[in-house]
Chains A and B, each alone.
Chain A
Amino acid sequence: MSSSLQAPNASRGACLRCLRRSWLLGQLSGPLDYCARDRTRLIDLLALADDELLQAVAGRRAGELADRYKRFQVDEHEQARHARICRHRNGYPRGLCAAMAPPLLEVAGGVERLAKLAAAPVVAIVGSRAPSDYGMETARTLARGLTASGVTVSACLSDGIAVAAHAGALDTYGESIAVMGGGLDVSCPARRRSLYERVKSAGCAVSELQHDCSGRRWGQLAAERIVVGLAQLTVLVEADHTPGELAAAHITQTLGRPLGVIPGRVSSPLSAGPHALLRAGAELICGPSDVLELLHLPDDRPADARPPQQPMDATVTSGLPPELKETLARVGGGCDTPEKLMSLGRDPERVLLALSELELLGLIGRGDGGRYLPRQPLAALG
């Protein structure tokens, strides 16, 4: 402890014990990757104390690493690239103080901002790495609605739903926390670079590893546990029935926190995970309002006393001319291409006009192969 007090640059906001833990994880990155094949085992391992972890995974290097571990010193001249915060300091997200949570976080975007974001209600948005356009649109709309209501969104920065969640958050105030699977900056894939920069400028990015530690497979799963740990509530959007895609949902259940699930198309394999969880008692989420309700009114009303679910904010659609309303309903009901709408015997030009007007109002957008998707307009979220 005393050495950490003398090294203000390197260890401001983090104590020696936590820095040493972070260093150890970096050293054990390889063996941990091997253990990541068994997901539950990895989570259990990460919950171990330092010496136990060393004994469990270090193998032949255990002796050497234990030696170096004992002699670990903070490099007093090192300039930390990013701010650090450990669980023994003020400002460490309270939600993360669970047994398996990381003791130290590197933060890009500022510790103060992280504290502010984590103090607001946090909702994790998790789901498939290869979602359908329906999943992407839903996740984005949800994230947009939640950030507009002052909720912080937490998500990884890998592929699919997680990316849509950040994009949705950036549509409004950009208050999202991205959890990286490796060291900050180095583990961000090139295709996510611009999104990463935008998230950093409006929200923040965190990692439990040191900035020079490149990303590995186990890091993704470890990041999921931080994403879920930060949040009071987790929402799952599309996942097939594999342990990998459902990992975050299972961590949520282990932590005993509420899990919300967005239903999918019955015919899609990506609905298998959500529907199985719904059957097992997860909360049904149809939009931001459901999430807000879960956050603030925990389960003290019977289900039938809640307001009926509506697919779209009623105030937006109520002012529409009947023709647009009808077209919107048809698009939502699966008649989502101009061809299909025209085949119902309507005048082609009127169909195109209605589609354009709805698109201009932000009520529909273009999806895969030129199909139209209903979406929630920005203005309605206010």
Chain B
Amino acid sequence: MLARAHTFTIEGLHARHVTVEVDVRRGLPGFAIVGLADAAVREARERIQAAILNSGYEFPARRIVANLAPGDVRKAGPGLDLALACAVLGASGQLTPESLERVALFGELALDGAVRPSRGTLAVAQSTQRAGLGKLLLASERAREAGLIDGLQVAAVEQLCSAVRVLGGAPGDALPPQRAAARTIDPGAAGSLTPNFPTVDLAEVVGQPHAVRTLMIAAAGAHNILLSGPPGTGKTMLAQRLPSILPALSKSEAVEVTRIHSVMGASILALAASRPFRAPHHSITAAGLLGGALRGSLGEAVLAHHGVLFLDELSEFTRPALEALRQPLEEGRVAIARAHHSAVYPARFMLVAATNPCPCGYAGDGDRCACSEADMARHRKRLSGPLLDRIDLLVNLQRDTSRDRDAEPLLSSAEALRQVDGARARQARRLAGDGVSVNAHMDARMLARHVRLDERGERMLAAGRHGGLLSARGEHRVLKVARTIADLRASERVRARDVGAALALRPDVVLAGSRVA
């Protein structure tokens, strides 16, 4: 007898539809699974047999063949257990095979028949709806997560026997009570992408008004920014406060971020509310940044999607790792091709990088700098090149000797966020038909249409071009930043003062000194 069930396997960020066909026939008793299954799926044989027996059903002592279609897709993870078990029950006549037809099943089985949660539930729920299956059975811990997708019928099952009941037409099990505090993803919990410093505020930054202002410009236009300065001047502090002045996630962005959370295995009770903030250590490899070292593993660039990727000590990162960031910075996605799989992940993040102006960190700080010319040249060489080409803003922080501890903070996060929101709204209105929503993502065509300079601004740009200060790409970056500064002033026209400020903030390959000969 033959039974067919529907389930999903996680491939990167997506859930791929898998049809489980189980045939039970006469022959030597045995259980074979075919169709490119990985070790976790092949081990399912033992789990399924134990779970079926321990739930009070009968495991047919006949020849059982399970086929996972399509046959050329590699199936991974234990999430296929539930579908396999139900198909075995259907094929052995303990369940009507027709009841499996319009339902998706997703979950791992325990030996006693309990259904365990499996990672990637949100992606599975989305795919269930897209495949037109209408109903999804899964572990009760994850039922709320799947419930975030509108218009999908979700049934929570705690045991294999309750799954059989639900398939027979009964309602699903009760959901576990929602914890009052857990409105969203636990900050700092395992697998969570949100920063575990959720309460920081820009108002805690004393001094450095120039840097704070520039950080706001970066947030307003989603510009990549480089913070350079001696140790202890607040580079990391500023970067950590960037998420607090970024606009809230839109609904579709929140779904994307939550799906990444879900694939990472976070326990999700609501859509993500804050933007991700990722700060990988500088020893990270290119595969760690992009993902794909193991099948389906996600890189830091993907985990920072719609959020902030913070690279502290930029010059310490390996060159391959920095080179690897070119594609996500340019296209907002990561395409990985490995021997056995290839995948495309979304990776549109804001890059915030921090670096010392020289290896010892004290260049420009009186006579404290102890770096030789060769050290400086090496440092500069590591920083220059393709990555710096994609950074729009540079702030040089200086040790603030005249700092007044009781000084009024320049901006609170709430005030900065209000201004950023205003600027973003202007950009969204202007760029409505262009497929992008922020100034940093404008291409040359959009720049020509949306950035009109006054005469003095044009003159300044021309002077920069002729003086060799600006390359064509550099000019585009200056125009984008000038557009954002004008947006922050709530002005439709870009004036010379905006161009001037953008020019002063443009990153120069020379961080420390004019020692290049």
Contact = CB atoms under 8 A, between A and B. Distances in A.
A128 to B, nearest CB: 11
B396 A370 contact: yes
Interface in B393-412: 394-396, 398, 400, 402
Contacts of B1: none
A35 interface: no
A311 interface: no
A200 to B, nearest CB: 15
Contacts of A354: 500
Contact of A159 (B373, B501, B505): B373
B346 interface: no
Contact of B510 (A337, A343, A366): A366
Most chain-A Cβ atoms within 10 A of its Cβ — which of B358, B364, B467?
B364
A130 B373 CA distance: 7
Interface stretch (B206-214, B296-304, B310-318): B206-214
Nearest to B364: A369
Question: Main SS of chain A's interface residues?
Answer: helix
Q: How large is the interface on B (under 10, 10 to 19, 20 to 34, 35 or more residues)?
A: 35 or more
Contacts of A191: 374, 377
Given A191-B374, A191-B377, A369 B497 contact: no
B503 A360 contact: yes
A373 interface: yes
Contacts of A38: none
B453 interface: no
B372 interface: yes
Contact of A352 (B377, B400, B505): B505
Interface in A157-172: 159-160, 163-164, 166-167
Contacts of A366: 508, 510, 514
Interface string B492-517: 00001111110111001011111101
Nearest to B357: A369
Given A136-B515, A359-B503, A369 B396 contact: yes
B440 interface: no
A269 B357 CA distance: 22
Contact of B517 (A167, A350, A356, A367): A167
B369 interface: yes
B291 interface: no
Interface in A248-282: 267-269
B210 A338 contact: yes
Contacts of A343: 402
B210 A348 contact: yes
Contacts of A349: 485, 497-498, 500-501
A337 B210 CA distance: 10
A370 B209 contact: no
B365 interface: yes
A160 B512 contact: no
B230 A352 contact: no
A180 interface: no
Contact of A357 (B402, B460, B485): B460
B379 to A, nearest CB: 12
B228 interface: yes
A352 B504 contact: yes
Interface in A328-361: 337-340, 342-343, 348-350, 352-357, 359-361
A179 B296 CA distance: 60
Contacts of B460: 356-357, 360
Given A339-B210, A352-B500, A370 B398 contact: yes
A300 to B, nearest CB: 37
A367 B210 CA distance: 18
Given A130-B372, A160-B373, A195-B517, A353 B512 contact: no
Interface of B: 208-210, 213, 228-230, 357-358, 363-367, 369, 372-374, 377, 394-396, 398, 400, 402, 460, 463-464, 467, 469, 485, 496-501, 503-505, 508, 510-515, 517
15 contacts: A133-B514, A160-B373, A349-B497, A352-B503, A353-B504, A354-B500, A359-B503, A360-B467, A362-B467, A368-B512, A369-B230, A369-B398, A370-B395, A370-B398, A371-B364
Interface of A: 130, 132-133, 136-137, 140, 159-160, 163-164, 166-167, 191, 195, 267-269, 337-340, 342-343, 348-350, 352-357, 359-362, 365-371, 373
